[in-house]
Amino acid sequence: MGGLKDRYIRFDWAIKRLLRQKANFDVLEGFLTVFIGEEVKIVEILESEGNQQTPDDKFNRVDIKARNSKGEIILVEVQNTSELYYLERILYGVAKAITEHIHLGDTYKEVKKVYSISILYFDIGKGADYLYVGQNKFIGVHTNDQLVITAKEKGALVQKSPAEIFPEYILVRVNEFDKVAVTPLEEWVAYLKSGVIKENTTAPGLQEARKKLQYYSMTDAERYAYDEHLNAVMIQNDVLGNAREEGLAEGRAEGLTQGRAEGLTQGRAEELTQGRAEGLTQGRAEGRAEAKKDIVKSMLSNGLSVEQAAKYSGLTVEEVESIK
């Protein structure tokens, strides 16, 4: 089934404008359940600098900061364009989330696990997969086993893995996805990439998204704002793409010019070096020849015969004759 009514809102816009509303938590919870791998219930949306709605919204920073029923903090961010220190920034964001939600006088027991989910529409680096998960594990250097921590909860000692305490990073490389969507995870990534949601989907949150994220269910004003957002993203991508191409072309030209200059300089230096070496060699040879001539002349002037001078100098008789 196709047509205009099946056009769905991009996830970056939905997460900024619609999924923060409690009425739409079921879509967000479905998304988080699939990517985190366990059922997630959202208790509240927390404010952060990235999810404020202002006229100059940065399409480079679109995110949600939420607290789930376990008290954990979940950060979701859509990144449309490349950023040089992206991993450093999400590390800072996670650290900030941890410190923001523990108060002076609290024990470290109050530190909550943080999930950071990044939906990336740019090439962050090399890798064959479209989904990468980063977790902290403590591995025995000699035994290769994983350390399990003993902790105290509700008066009882419990075993915990560091992964239950340390932040977890999930990177979704949307543009690398090229599969036929079968699993709930694949269906979600297919929607993130192309905006398509299967009519018979059973993926958590997507059936709800089919109802709530329809383009034509928005008001005229909302559609206008959404279209302007898409135009801004496309213009930004075009500008950055052109800048990359121009930078690449300029880099090639500069490299060629520099290469020629360096080659010329190196060639001159090599010629100079070679000239010096050849000159020195030739000079030494000529010096030795002149010295030998002087020795031969001295031999002859002291009464030695031509044959004797040739014998002692290593020259031929003809060469000695030419020196006389």
What DSSP assignment string belongs to 223-286? Answer: HHHHHHHHHHHHHHHHHHHHHHHHHHHHHHHHHHHHHHHHHHHHHHHHHHHHHHHHHHHHHHHH
At 60 the pLDDT is 44
The tokens of 43 are what? 């208790």
Q: Which residue has the tokens 């000695």?
A: 320
Is pLDDT of 36 > 90?
yes
At 24 the pLDDT is 92
Is pLDDT of 155 > 60?
yes
Please count the structural domains in the chain.
1
Q: For residue 25, is it within any domain?
A: yes
CA 217 to chain CA centroid, nearest Å? 37
pLDDT above 90 covers a percentage of the chain that reads: 39
Q: Give the residue numbers spanning the domain of 122.
A: 4-217
pLDDT-derived band at 56, boundaries 50, 70, 90 = very low
Q: Which residue has the tokens 């190196």?
A: 266
Q: For residue 168, is it within any domain?
A: yes
Q: For residue 153, is it within any domain?
A: yes
Q: For residue 159, is it within any domain?
A: yes
At 272 the pLDDT is 54
Provide the mean pLDDT of the chain.
Answer: 81
Q: Are 249 and 36 in contact (CB under 8 A)?
A: no
CA distances from 147 to 103, 138, 160, 214, 257 (A): 29, 5, 9, 47, 56
Q: For residue 39, is it within any domain?
A: yes
Q: For residue 128, is it within any domain?
A: yes
Alpha carbons within 13 angstroms on the beta-carbon side of residue 316 total 3
Q: For residue 229, is it within any domain?
A: no
Q: For residue 289, is it within any domain?
A: no
